[in-house]
Structure 1
Amino acid sequence: MHAQAQPKRIGQWLLMLAATLLLAACGFHMRGAANLPFKTIYLDFTPNSVVGVELKRNIQASGTQVVDDKKAAEAILKVISDTRDKQILTLNTDGRVREYALFQRFTFSVTDAKGAVTIPPTAITLRRVITYDANQELAKQAEEALLYRDMQSDLVQQILRRLSASKSAIAAENVDPEP
């Protein structure tokens, strides 16, 4: 029995090693803190915005300071709109809802301290589909809340990526043309 288990265990180790090497070879790496092109930012969110709180936490983790005064900020993120929507996607043969589509739409822009537009108004739309069953009302409400929370996290990551991508645009503006 012991002699048969040894080759199986070696095979499992080789499989894990191969998977690790494949992940390393494809360039996979854990997402680290965002590399933002400014040291301070003002976030124009309402005080009770859950997206604002999560974005603030992620920005601070990246080493950028979130300030409470627009005049002290190198960049100002202005929220143009932030809405959630729930639409009927499909109906069953009895005319009852079978699936919903959940949407989160977020539009923002970023300006620098002088008022120059760094990121023009940008819209991010997220969509998730949820099935519905009237016999499982509480479970479906909890699933909907979980999906909205997932969309919120995805939204924050997309905003951070766009803020990080603005680094190349800011660097291009700061380069003096040769005489």
Structure 2
Amino acid sequence: MRLIAWTLTLSLLVGCGWHLRGVTPLPDGYRVLYIQGGGNDIRQALRQQLEFNGAIITASAADAPVQLIIEEYDVEKRTLSVNASGQVAEYELNALLSASVVRQLDDEKQSFEVNARRTLSNDVNNVVATQQEETQTREDLKTDLITRLIRRLQSLEQAK
């Protein structure tokens, strides 16, 4: 009986187009591209994720039919709440990634931005752990923004 239930569940999931996260294939027009701008860390992480998804990143803009221009990457930290003694209890991290895609063939430029938000608890008695948690949260935000950016690249070809 369990086998039948599992088989039915899996066949429904496969039939509706659901799939596990992982490789996100890019449209044919965006598989070869050049990354320009942004800091070294965001550019390197984006390059790694794009290559994992089957993209070819060129060394120069002249070799690529598409340029991905990272215009802005910023993580803003603001106080979310304070405790009874006036110390910060929680922070909010807001991340923004602005980018443009320029197709060399028709000089078409499409700009878009993705953003993400996380909350961070501040333990005033354990500063080192709070700093490590903030570092990890910033990495998670960067990964989330890159994933959203790649999904936007997927939707560009479908929108045409």
State if a TM-score over 0.5 links the two structures: yes
Secondary structure at the counterpart of residue 125 of structure 2: helix
Aligned partner of 2:32 in structure 1 is: 40
Unmatched runs of 5 consecutive residues or more in structure 2:
none
The whole-number CA distance in structure 1 between the counterparts of 2:43 and 2:7 is: 36
Number of residue pairs matched by the alignment? 155
2:99 aligned with 1:112, yes or no? no
Percent sequence identity over matched residues? 23
- The corresponding residue for 2:139 is 149
In angstroms, what is the RMSD of aligned CA positions?
A: 2.2
Q: 1:21 to 1:143 in 2, by over 3 A?
A: farther
2:151 aligned partner: 161
What secondary structure does 2:72 align onto? strand
- CA distance 1:75–1:132, shift in 2 (3 Å): same
Query: Given that residues 37 and 71 in structure 2 are in contact (C-alpha distance below 8 angstroms), is that contact kept between their aligned partners in structure 1?
Result: no
In the superposition, the TM-score normalised over structure 2's length comes to 0.84
CA offset digits 1:18-52 (Å, max 9, x no partner): 46743552443212232233331010135x52221
> For 1:51-101, what per-residue CA distance to the aligned partner results, in whole angstroms no more than 9, with x for missing partners?
211211222223221012111111111111111111000111211101000
| SS of match in other structure, 1:87 | strand
Counterpart-to-counterpart distance in 1, 2:87 and 2:10:
45
Instruction: Return the letter of the residue paired with 1:61.
Output: F
Q: Which letter maps to 1:137?
A: V
Residues 60, 66 of structure 1: 8 Å contact kept: yes
- Separation in 2, partners of 1:118, 1:17: 51
- Separation (CA, whole Å) in 2 of partners of 1:76 and 1:49: 17
Return the offset for 1:168: 2.1
1:97 alignment counterpart:
88
- In structure 2, C-alpha distance between the alignment counterparts of 1:63 and 1:94, rounded to whole Å: 52
Distance 1:127 1:65, change over 3 A: same
TM-score by length of 1: 0.76
SS of residue matched to 1:34: coil
Counterpart check, 1:25 vs 2:17? no
What amino acid does structure 1 have at the position aligned with 2:99? Answer: F
Q: Distance in 2 between matches of 1:128 and 1:62?
A: 26
- Secondary structure in structure 1 of the residue aligned to 2:30: coil
Seen in structure 2, the aligned counterparts of structure 1 residues 89 and 54 have a Cα distance that, compared at 3 Å, is same
Q: Which runs of 5+ in 1 are unaligned?
A: 1-12, 173-179
